[in-house]
Amino acid sequence: MKKISDYENKKVLVLGLAKSGLAAAQLLMELGAKITVNDGKAFEGNNEAKILSEQGIQVICGSHPVELFDQEDFELLVKNPGIPYENPMVERAMALGIPVITEVELAYQVSEADIIGVTGTNGKTTTVTMIADILNAAGRTAKLAGNIGFPSSEVASTAKADELLVTELSSFQLMGIRSFRPKIALITNIFSAHLDYHGSQEAYEAAKWEIQKNMTHEDVLILNFNQEKSLALAEKTQARVLAFATGREVDGAYSLDGKLYYKGEVVMAEADLALPGEHNLENALAAIVVAKLLDIGKQAIQETLSHFSGVKHRNQYLGEVAGVKVYNDSKATNILATQKALSGFDNSKLWLLAGGLDRGNSFDELAEYISGLKGMIVFGETAPKLEALADELAIPVIKSENVATALALALSQAESGDSILLSPACASWDQYKTFEERGDLFISAFETAQKGA
């Protein structure tokens, strides 16, 4: 960790705990800051607050008292990414001219390792995992950090100069950077998302674009040239731009005639990719650009991408039961994610498991993607809507109680050579606390079925 003096005796307010707030507070304490922590969750049952309190840090829980700013001359606010800028504490800090950052900025300041920053609407987690797996397979030491579940400031504080931080970055995190500058930055894609937080698509895209704001011609920005907007963005950065695309040659990685290329060199056959789907092809191409920039050979790329089974709950290949392949895409909490998942399958041999929280939307946008399915098993609050759509498209459909019973029903109907895909197109909160809980139940049901086969 770089020994910096920027925070010695500086009064810092850490707003919001969870993993990232805890990591930020502990790093700031190590850097000599005078810290106050404020978290909306009550102290009772707040494990992070108890840990910091035991370490001698002042922790104020249960509310956000703006009068704290009258009692302390704070010089910096480190905000949990999920806390909106409309929060009274954040608004007061900004009104007083107090800088507001997120903990990824702290991570950058102390990291001895170079940072590879990955953002985008979809595919971030899969892509950073692919990149890290390729690098580690080639003998480099790559550590995952950021929005993937490993607080950047915690990982950066122990990373060595010859290591690499492969960091997943959300738009929320990127809004709180000042000097953050990755050596390599990657934007997987940009669609509509998080408008409730950002207020507009323009504000959301501006937050994503922050990833490159401090980059120079010595750094590389990787863009998805399958998206028209990326062509315009390429003209608006100081970084050197490389691209990835499908179906045509670009300056970077691309797929053409069943092969994956990098700058004219064949890297591997598209058919050898372990994960199905156009979106996973894009993720693989993006990972190839990063790998080749770091002089990774084809063997490590081929071995990794041909065996990469996916990130848990993200189009994750679980295995077979009696010749039927089973995939867990519980992370697909909206229609767009399910559309992308379906793109990798032959509908005539696919059973789709879908349903969940009813947010009041229709599923008309899903129609062309599910046309020709062998069958659907539906569950949750949206089961009636999905059943009606299936009936309209003459797709065999069965109602089920939950994801576990849905898998059992699908397996009872499927034939060897078929595939079963859990890709709900809905949030999980009607039946489960999180999409992870939903996916874990599905995995457990698969493991039971596999043992009994």
Please report the pLDDT score of residue 304 as a whole number: 97
Give strand ranges (E) for 32-163.
34-39, 58-61, 76-79, 100-101, 114-119, 142-146
361 has binding-site annotation: no
- Helices 435-452 and 403-413, axial angle in degrees (round to 10): 40
Closest CA to 244 of 289, 206, 200, 207: 289
Please report the pLDDT score of residue 426 as a whole number: 96
Taking the C-alpha atoms of residue 407 and residue 418, their distance in angstroms, rounded to an integer, is 13
120 has binding-site annotation: yes
Round the CA-based radius of gyration of the chain to a whole number and report it: 23
Assess contact for 331 and 435: CB atoms under 8 A: yes
Half-sphere exposure of 347 (CA within 13 A, CB side): 14
Amino acid at 214: N
3-state helix, strand, coil in the chain (%, to 5): 40, 20, 40
Question: What does the pLDDT profile of the chain (453 residues) look like in tens digits?
Answer: 998 999 999 999 999 999 999 999 999 999 999 999 999 999 999 999 999 999 999 999 999 999 999 999 999 999 999 899 999 999 999 999 999 999 999 999 999 999 999 999 988 999 999 999 999 999 999 999 998 889 999 999 999 999 999 999 999 999 999 999 999 999 999 988 788 889 899 999 999 999 999 999 999 999 999 999 999 999 999 999 999 999 999 999 999 999 999 999 999 999 999 888 888 999 999 999 999 999 999 999 999 999 998 888 888 889 999 999 999 999 999 998 899 889 889 999 999 999 999 989 899 999 999 999 999 999 999 999 999 999 999 999 999 999 999 999 999 999 999 999 999 999 999 999 999 999 999 999 999 999 987
Q: Which domains does the chain possess?
A: 11-101 (3.40.50.720), 104-307 (3.40.1190.10), 316-452 (3.90.190.20)
124 has binding-site annotation: yes
Task: Name the pairing type of β-strands 265-269 and 259-262.
Answer: antiparallel
122 has binding-site annotation: yes
372: left (phi over 0), alpha (psi -120 to 50) or beta: left
47 has binding-site annotation: no
> What is the sign of the dihedral through the CA atoms of 89, 91, 92 and 97?
positive
Assess contact for 378 and 397: CB atoms under 8 A: yes
Please report the pLDDT score of residue 117 as a whole number: 98
Taking the C-alpha atoms of residue 16 and residue 14, their distance in angstroms, rounded to an integer, is 6
Taking the C-alpha atoms of residue 193 and residue 197, their distance in angstroms, rounded to an integer, is 9
